[in-house]
């Protein structure tokens, strides 16, 4: 087996025992050596393959620890609305998609009302302009809301007399008729009825989604919420088929919705190792999103003094659920944005006796957007790993400040820098399909904390460039108990790597976003090349 020598660049190991090196050698799927060029050339041997890094920097591959890759694969066949700035553009985009799609239900995704210049929310009447005969459903960028036209409401059996489900809202106008907006569980209850691609088509959609992630330097993901896409068995089969055919260019740690997890009954795992697909955890939800005012807060929203949001679970039932999964040794990834939701999660963990240890399932607190300092200290004590969605700051920070939270609370969102300062392991994520899987932009925002309008929210809460990269590499590996196999460029570990055009840990922080991915390598094989 030929060895491969990576030379003429910088090797950033993310292993503090050897911070940087001149060259790296792989053999098969693993790293054989890291060190000076002369020693590595000798180790590689005269017949080795040589990769000229052209002055770039080789890092451990990025591990995106919270996204919905399997759901995004389905989205790829639908209408993308993330660039629409008016309701008219939304309608026009959907019309064009409908003209080329034979799907019985017209679906759009990444609808972002924060971009709209109309000064109002979209309604079923607007979506009726797309089609009055076919159901039309658009999914909000937060994935916590959806908007339906009149035909879709009829198709889903939603009318004036339909009650709100527990943890959800069916919005109605002054006459008691549905406006078309469904919040949280009201939307989740019908999300699996949008129509699914056939299994063969889905394999190709998933393959394309994986390749898109590879182009961003991503070599591993935590796909959170198997079942949200409405076809968990098809998804799991597709992942395993891509793996069997040698087409799965990343390592996938799956967390399933409770009902799916309980049905599939996976055994608790000890470490992910070199596995490509592992159903290793359960995904729980406690609240919604701040920008939709469905997150559960301890104090009222700035623009609605009578509204704090609410938990979408019964606290006692949630605590029992957490205790049950923890006793069984199963990993949990739990969604919590608001500080009341975060409090509920920490309290449930404390009551379940969760403490930090090497044997811990390393439960994750997903988003953790409004965590207070005292909550972070309790998170550290319990051995939980918070995963921050710092792109909130860029995309919605201005609205958080002006509308939802006010100046003081908005300055503290996604306090990753505070976690770093107290030695609390944390990760970063972009929650695709909420936002594109752009890791470098995520790192840039975590460091700089700049909003769309150019404001800096909480400058003292910025992460160091090294810490932000660690959140996607060495610290990310902890979440799936993979630190013995991934996360650093250390001899013996898997050759999951990304070659960048610069060392993001040493450049000026404001230039991080200009970094380009040149190659992505998984198990020693190049899965993306610019």
The DSSP-derived string for 33-98 is EEE-HHHHHHHH-TT-EEEE-TT-EEEEPEEEEEE-HHHHHHHTTSEE-TT--SHHHHHHHHHHHH
Per-residue burial over 20-50, b if 16 or more Cβ lie within 10 Å, else e, is bbbbbbbbeebbbbbbeeeebbebbeeebee
> Do 78-193 and 200-485 agree at the fold level?
no
Could you tell me if 228 and 194 are in contact, meaning their C-beta atoms sit under 8 angstroms apart? no
What is the Rg, in whole angstroms, of the alpha carbon atoms belonging to the chain?
23
pLDDT, residue 358, reads 67
The pair phi, psi for residue 212, each rounded to 5°, is -60, -40
Copy the structure tokens of residue 282.
């359960």
At the topology level, CATH places domain 200-485 in TIM Barrel (3.20.20)
Per-residue burial over 321-358, b if 16 or more Cβ lie within 10 Å, else e, is bbbebbeeebbbbbbbbbbbbbbbbbebbeebebebee
Which residues of 351-412 form beta strands (DSSP E)?
A: 364-367, 385-388
> Which residue, 226, 187, 54, is CA-closest to 109?
187
d(CA 456, CA 462): 10
Copy the structure tokens of residue 527.
């899965």
d(CA 364, CA 354): 12
Copy the structure tokens of residue 29.
């799927």
In the predicted model, residues of the chain with pLDDT beneath 70 are 357-359
For residue 459, what is the DSSP state? G
3-state secondary structure of 360: coil
> Which residue, 59, 65, 64, is CA-closest to 490?
59
CATH class of 78-193: alpha beta
Could you tell me if 290 and 369 are in contact, meaning their C-beta atoms sit under 8 angstroms apart? yes
Q: From the CB of residue 391, how many other CB atoms can be counted at a distance below 10 Å?
A: 23
3-state secondary structure of 304: strand
The pair phi, psi for residue 382, each rounded to 5°, is -80, -10
Q: Strand pairing of 57-60 and 10-15?
A: parallel
3-state secondary structure of 229: coil
Could you tell me if 371 and 386 are in contact, meaning their C-beta atoms sit under 8 angstroms apart? yes
d(CA 120, CA 116): 8
Could you tell me if 528 and 214 are in contact, meaning their C-beta atoms sit under 8 angstroms apart? yes
d(CA 164, CA 127): 22
Which residues of 323-432 form beta strands (DSSP E)?
A: 331-336, 364-367, 385-388, 427-428
d(CA 331, CA 348): 14
Could you tell me if 398 and 451 are in contact, meaning their C-beta atoms sit under 8 angstroms apart? yes
Could you tell me if 205 and 197 are in contact, meaning their C-beta atoms sit under 8 angstroms apart? yes
Domain ranges of the chain: 78-193, 200-485
pLDDT, residue 359, reads 66
> Which residue, 454, 450, 445, is CA-closest to 389?
445
* HEC profile of 179-212: EEEEEEHHHHCCHHHCCCCCHHHHHHHHHHHHHH
Copy the structure tokens of residue 357.
């240890």
**pTM strictly above 0.85:** yes
Digit-coded pLDDT (tens) for 321-341: 999 999 999 999 999 999 999
């Amino acid at each position: 087996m030929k060895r491969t020598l990576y030379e003429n660049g910088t090797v950033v190991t993310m292993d503090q025992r050897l911070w940087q090196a001149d060259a790296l050698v792989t053999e098969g799927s693993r790293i054989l050596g890291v060190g000076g060029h002369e020693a590595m050339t000798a180790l590689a041997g005269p017949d080795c393959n040589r990769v000229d890094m052209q002055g770039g920097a080789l890092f451990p591959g990025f591990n995106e620890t919270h996204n919905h890759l399997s759901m995004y694969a389905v989205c790829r066949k639908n209408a993308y609305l993330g660039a629409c700035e008016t309701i008219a553009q939304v309608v026009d985009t959907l019309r064009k998609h409908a003209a080329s799609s034979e799907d019985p239900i017209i679906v759009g995704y990444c609808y972002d009302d924060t971009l709209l210049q109309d000064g109002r929310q979209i309604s079923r009447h607007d979506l009726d302009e797309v089609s009055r005969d076919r159901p039309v459903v658009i999914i909000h960028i937060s994935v916590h809301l959806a908007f339906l036209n009149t035909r879709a409401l009829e198709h889903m059996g939603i009318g004036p007399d339909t009650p709100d489900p527990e943890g959800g809202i069916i919005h109605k106008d002054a006459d008691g008729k549905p406006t078309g907006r469904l919040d949280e569980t009201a939307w989740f209850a019908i999300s699996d009825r949008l129509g699914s691609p056939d299994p063969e088509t889905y394999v190709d959609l998933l393959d394309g989604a994986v390749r898109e992630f590879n182009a961003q330097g991503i070599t591993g993901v935590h796909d959170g919420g198997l079942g949200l896409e409405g076809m968990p068995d098809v998804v799991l089969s597709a992942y395993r088929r891509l793996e069997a055919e040698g087409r799965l260019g990343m390592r996938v740690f799956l967390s399933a919705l409770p009902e799916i997890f309980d049905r599939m009954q996976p055994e608790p795992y000890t470490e992910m190792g070199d596995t490509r697909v592992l159903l290793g955890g359960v995904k729980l939800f406690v609240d919604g999103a701040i920008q939709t005012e469905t997150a559960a807060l301890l104090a009222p929203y700035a623009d609605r003094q009578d509204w704090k949001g609410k938990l979408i679970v019964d606290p006692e039932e949630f605590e029992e659920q957490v205790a049950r999964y923890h006793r069984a040794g199963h990993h949990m990834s739990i969604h919590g944005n608001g500080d009341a939701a975060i409090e509920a999660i920490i309290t449930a963990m404390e009551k379940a006796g969760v403490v930090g240890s090497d044997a811990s399932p390393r439960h994750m607190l997903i988003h953790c957007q409004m965590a207070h300092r005292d909550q972070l200290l309790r998170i550290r004590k319990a051995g939980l790993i918070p995963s921050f969605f710092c792109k909130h700051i860029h995309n919605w920070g201005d609205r958080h400040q002006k509308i939802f939270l006010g100046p003081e609370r908005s300055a503290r969102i996604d306090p990753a820098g505070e976690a770093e300062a107290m030695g609390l392991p944390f990760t970063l994520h972009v929650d695709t399909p909420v936002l594109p899987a752009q890791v470098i932009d995520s790192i840039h925002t975590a460091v700089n904390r700049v909003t769309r309008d150019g404001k800096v929210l909480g400058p003292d809460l910025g992460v160091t460039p090294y810490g932000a990269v660690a959140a996607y590499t060495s610290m990310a590996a902890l979440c799936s108990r993979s630190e013995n196999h991934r996360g650093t460029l250390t001899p013996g570990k898997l050759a999951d790597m990304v070659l960048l055009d610069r060392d993001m840990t040493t450049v000026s922080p404001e230039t991080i976003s200009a970094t380009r991915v040149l190659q992505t390598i998984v198990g020693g094989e190049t899965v993306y090349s610019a």
